[in-house]
Amino acid sequence: MRKFAIFSIIVGLALVIVGGFITVKAYNDGAFKQKNITKTIDIEEDYDNIYIDLDISSVELKKSEDNKSKIVCEEYEKLTHNAKVEDSSLKISATDERAWYNKYFFNFFSDIKITIYLTEDSYNEFNFKLATGNLLSEEILNVNKIDLNLSTGNIRLANITSEEIKINESTGNVLVSELNVNNLNVTCSTGNIKVVNVISDKMNLKCSTGNINFDSSDASYIEAYTSVGNITGNLLTGKTFTATSDTGKVNVPSTTGNPCILKTSTGNIKITIKEWKKVCLAHFLFVFIFNFRVFKIKRSNLINIIV
């Protein structure tokens, strides 16, 4: 036991010394005082798809005010961004030639921002992969397919009409709002999922550790699961609920309708249905949208009609 304690102390001291050396080295190399520059990349070619593969950048999508497609990004010494159009696809990546210890301290203390200015309202596919960073898109867009993968960061997605939206988040919160989508699939390891004013055909939400919240949303089929967390909120129409919690309380309406499967291992479940007048109109609009596939009707207009 005594030998183990001495060994642990020696290992701890060695780690402190090595950590101190790396910190001093990174400081001398300027990891804590790198100056950034703002670069604009003009995109001349037309494109239908956007593919992003970045390690440490936060991305925002915005409509262009001058009808010119461009990318405005922050860059640092030995850390630059690349953008090119190939096969009708805008591809955005980064070149990082910094030492590994500089990457560690820079990534911990800094946040690089990239803004993509769009000129079109409709696109075929968005495929984004971000290791560390946030994603924000609130412009009114029609995108056939969206696939988002984030390791660490928050996602805020709004005002989009789509056939399929897939979101895979490791650590961070996901907020989706004002969506018209056939198939919505959100997976989050550690973080909360919130669905606001979303109409979908199929909705599948899954958390390992985190809460799931519905607000004025609906789907023909809903499945929501969290291992540690609560499932709460309100839906637009009555459902046939299958709701279970291993160690918490379950409170759902005794209604019938499309299937809604809710499950939590450790947490509570509480779901309500909107007032019946609003429910009737919302249900009519819901059926209208998905039977006739009128995807260009925006959710904001639907809410104005309901209210």
Per-residue pLDDT, 2: 59
Split at pLDDT 50, 70, 90, the class of 281 is low
Q: Which CATH number fits domain 37-306: 3.90.550.10, 2.160.20.120, 3.20.20.20, 3.20.20.450?
A: 2.160.20.120
| Higher per-residue confidence, 57 vs 259 | 259
Among 60-64, 112-116, 125-129, which stretch is predicted with the lowest mean pLDDT?
112-116
CA distances from 5 to 8, 13, 14, 17, 19 (A): 5, 12, 14, 18, 21
Split at pLDDT 50, 70, 90, the class of 295 is very low
Q: Looking at the predicted structure, is the pLDDT value of residue 122 above 90?
A: yes
- The H or E element that residue 103 is part of is helix 100-109
Rounded Cα gap, residues 128 and 92, in angstroms? 9
Cβ atoms 135, 58 nearer than 8 A: yes
Q: Where are the domains of the chain?
A: 1-30, 37-306
Split at pLDDT 50, 70, 90, the class of 75 is confident
| CB-CB neighbours of 66 under 10 Å | 8
> Model-level pTM?
0.78
Rounded Cα gap, residues 122 and 104, in angstroms? 38
pLDDT averaged over every residue in the chain: 82
Rounded Cα gap, residues 97 and 84, in angstroms? 20
Q: Report the relative pairing of strands 49-54 and 89-96 from DSSP bridges.
A: parallel
Q: Looking at the predicted structure, is the pLDDT value of residue 108 above 50?
A: no
DSSP 8-state class, residue 76 = B
Q: Looking at the predicted structure, is the pLDDT value of residue 252 above 60?
A: yes
CA 268 to chain centre: 24
Residues of 132-168 as b/e, b for ≥16 C-beta within 10 angstroms?
A: bbbbbbbeebbbbbbbbbbbbbbbbbbbbbbebbbbb
Q: Looking at the predicted structure, is the pLDDT value of residue 96 above 80?
A: no
Q: Report the relative pairing of strands 112-118 and 70-75 from DSSP bridges.
A: antiparallel
Per-residue pLDDT, 99: 52
Residues of 7-34 as b/e, b for ≥16 C-beta within 10 angstroms?
A: eeeeeeeeeeeeeeebeeebeeeebeeb
- The H or E element that residue 15 is part of is helix 2-28
Q: Count H helices, E strands: the chain? A: 4, 19
